[in-house]
Structure 1
Amino acid sequence: MTSPLEPSPAGRGSSPIGVFDSGLGGLSVLREIRALLPHESLLYVADSRHAPYGEKPESFVEARTLQACDWLIAQGCKALVIACNTATMHAVQAVRARFPTLPVIGVEPGLKPAAAASHSKVVGVLATASTLKSDKFNRLLTSLQQDSRFVCEAGLGLVPLIEQGDISSPDMRARLQTLLAPMLDAGADTLVLGCTHYPFLTRTIREMVGERLAIVDTGVAIARQLARKLAEFDLAAAPDAAPRDRYVSTRDAAHLRSMAAALLGVDAEAETVVIGTDRPAA
């Protein structure tokens, strides 16, 4: 049964794609979507008021993700991208159940491509604590452990630093050194970035480890899956469409705008919005 929030099918090709993250990490996914689908309009929601999700209870993450997706659909979005590993792990099934006639794209750590690419068959995984504890992640991990060894580390404290725009300070480098050392010591030659915030650390990681680790980021795969689903649902924008992007935050629009400029090189207007049970800022 279609949710009453879903827009009518007529004319949805020109409607925006909703991209949701707990904060700024989803900008790494939005970057790949924009590169692959230049004619699509994008509506980005950063739930920075509640970031990070990685240390929140599963019930909170599910409820909050549903509220954000309800809001995006109310804005007329034709498809949803849950650009947050933690939200995908805990809420993507609930979102798909609520909006069964719309494309809903989630993200998950690229364990399979990393295992296939690794020569040493030792793969490092950097993800949030919540993702590493999730049943979905551990089922996937178990299915691959016969042929590969995975050294998993929870990136505690990384997301708040990235949310502040810190991707290469001495503090960030010290934290990364602590997290990467067990992987390198175990012989890992491949690193999975299991949080959409972490691709913004790629340059710093590369400066620290050189070519010792091949880095797997699933942003490109997410953009390709979105393109396939838009075609399947006959929702793709016209080739001559003029895209209009919109950036919103549940906490600080000025910060989102500055971070979009710093991380993506985009000078975009941003606004603060109230979603779900939040109250307007005093």
Structure 2
Amino acid sequence: MSAAPIGVFDSGVGGISVLREIRRLLPGENLVYYADSGHCPYGGKTREQIQARAVAITEYLMARGAKLIVVACNTATIAAVEQLRATYPMPFVGMEPAVKPAAAQTRSGVVGVLATGAALAGDKFHKLVADHARGVRVITQPCPGLVEQVEAGLLDTPETRALVERYTAPLLQQGADVMVLGCTHYPFLRPLIQDVVGKDVSLIDTGAAVARQAQRLLEREGLVNDAGTAGSIEWQGSGDAVQLEKLRRLLMPDGS
């Protein structure tokens, strides 16, 4: 089982930001990435619709022999990860916005969270804030359209910049000095967001933390692949295969 792959899935290509961190930390692991681009974005879908997609993709990854599955999507984590854990035998790693480290890092006492509307509306997010951001003001900002820009490969265009300026302006005006990138698509916009908000604002995402959690679970289960060679990456998805390959080359240009 140690040579079995880690399954990673997202509503589209955003989870590649998490896959990169897993690859960096666990270079010997074989990976299967599933981009559900044919059903992207998840932000406007019902909980039941997202759960149905999460179940279908999980069963696909299980058929590929996955030993662990990373739900590399904040929206899917909120809607479906508990159901997946209750239904299937393998360990799951989910996403959550980096509110805890952001609250520890802020100097102004104001943290901004950029995310999809669905991720911000869930009870899971409100509990996260209540548990880890006491004494800190957390301002949330839904960002419709940003996922679609990343899915189109438009990482630094006037339209994308205009969206980033619109969504970050209220956070800056209210004194946020730390911003949480609460969607796995958004790290691909980090250079643009940083340019817009300025160098004095810190940007945080949870890709590296998710990779560390995957490592801990594999070690606990005795499933680390220690073959001593670089692992493979298999790319799958529900959308256009040519577009997925194009975006893979853009977002993971090291050729993995």
**Cα distance in 2 between the residues matched to 1:88 and 1:58:** 11
**Cα distance in 1 between the residues matched to 2:191 and 2:230:** 32
**Cα distance in 1 between the residues matched to 2:33 and 2:69:** 10
How far did 1:136 drift?
0.7
Distance 1:161 1:233, change over 3 A: same
Does structure 2 retain, via aligned residues, the 8 Å contact 1:49–1:250? Answer: yes
Does structure 2 retain, via aligned residues, the 8 Å contact 1:62–1:91? Answer: yes
How far did 1:142 drift?
2.8
The answer to whether residue 79 in structure 2 is matched with residue 96 in structure 1 is no
The answer to whether residue 23 in structure 2 is matched with residue 34 in structure 1 is yes
Q: Secondary structure in 2 aligned to 1:49?
A: helix
**Cα distance in 2 between the residues matched to 1:218 and 1:267:** 23
Q: 1:125 is matched with which residue? A: 113
Query: Following superposition of structure 1 onto structure 2, how do residues 105-116 of structure 1 map, counting pairs within 5 Å?
Result: 105-116=93-104
Q: 2:130 is matched with which residue? A: 142
**Cα distance in 1 between the residues matched to 2:142 and 2:183:** 10
After TM superposition, the score normalised by the length of structure 2 is 0.97
Q: 1:18 is matched with which residue? A: 7
Greater RCO structure (CA 8 Å; 6+ sep): 2
Q: Secondary structure in 1 aligned to 2:39?
A: coil
What is the identity, as a one-letter code, of the residue corresponding to 1:28?
A: S
Q: Structure 1 residues 153-162 or 240-249, which shifts more?
A: 240-249
Does structure 2 retain, via aligned residues, the 8 Å contact 1:54–1:128? Answer: yes
How far did 1:35 drift?
0.5
5+ residue gaps, structure 1, are: 1-11, 269-282
How far did 1:266 drift?
4.3
How far did 1:251 drift?
1.2
**Cα distance in 2 between the residues matched to 1:148 and 1:256:** 40
Q: 2:200 is matched with which residue? A: 212
Query: Following superposition of structure 1 onto structure 2, how do residues 243-282 of structure 1 map, counting pairs within 5 Å?
Result: 243-267=231-255
Does structure 1 retain, via aligned residues, the 8 Å contact 2:17–2:207? Answer: yes
What is the identity, as a one-letter code, of the residue corresponding to 1:220?
A: A
Q: 1:70 is matched with which residue? A: 59
Q: Structure 1 residues 137-146 or 193-202, which shifts more?
A: 137-146
Q: 1:186 aligns with which of 147, 156, 174?
A: 174
How far did 1:145 drift?
4.8
Q: Structure 1 residues 38-47 or 247-256, which shifts more?
A: 247-256
Q: 1:155 is matched with which residue? A: 143
Does structure 1 retain, via aligned residues, the 8 Å contact 2:164–2:193? Answer: yes
Q: 2:76 aligns with which of 72, 87, 108?
A: 87
> Identity, % of aligned pairs?
45
Q: Secondary structure in 2 aligned to 1:77?
A: coil
**Cα distance in 2 between the residues matched to 1:238 and 1:207:** 40
The answer to whether residue 170 in structure 2 is matched with residue 170 in structure 1 is no
Distance 1:31 1:145, change over 3 A: closer
Does structure 2 retain, via aligned residues, the 8 Å contact 1:14–1:241? Answer: no
After TM superposition, the score normalised by the length of structure 1 is 0.88
Provide, for residues 86-116 of structure 1, a one-character-per-residue CA deviation record: whole Å limited to 9, x for no partner: 000010001111123x221000101011001
What is the identity, as a one-letter code, of the residue corresponding to 1:258?
A: K
**Cα distance in 1 between the residues matched to 2:2 and 2:227:** 11
Q: Secondary structure in 1 aligned to 2:214?
A: helix
The alignment yields a C-alpha RMSD, in angstroms, of 1.1
5+ residue gaps, structure 2, are: none
**Cα distance in 1 between the residues matched to 2:170 and 2:139:** 8
How far did 1:207 drift?
1.5
Does structure 1 retain, via aligned residues, the 8 Å contact 2:71–2:81? Answer: yes
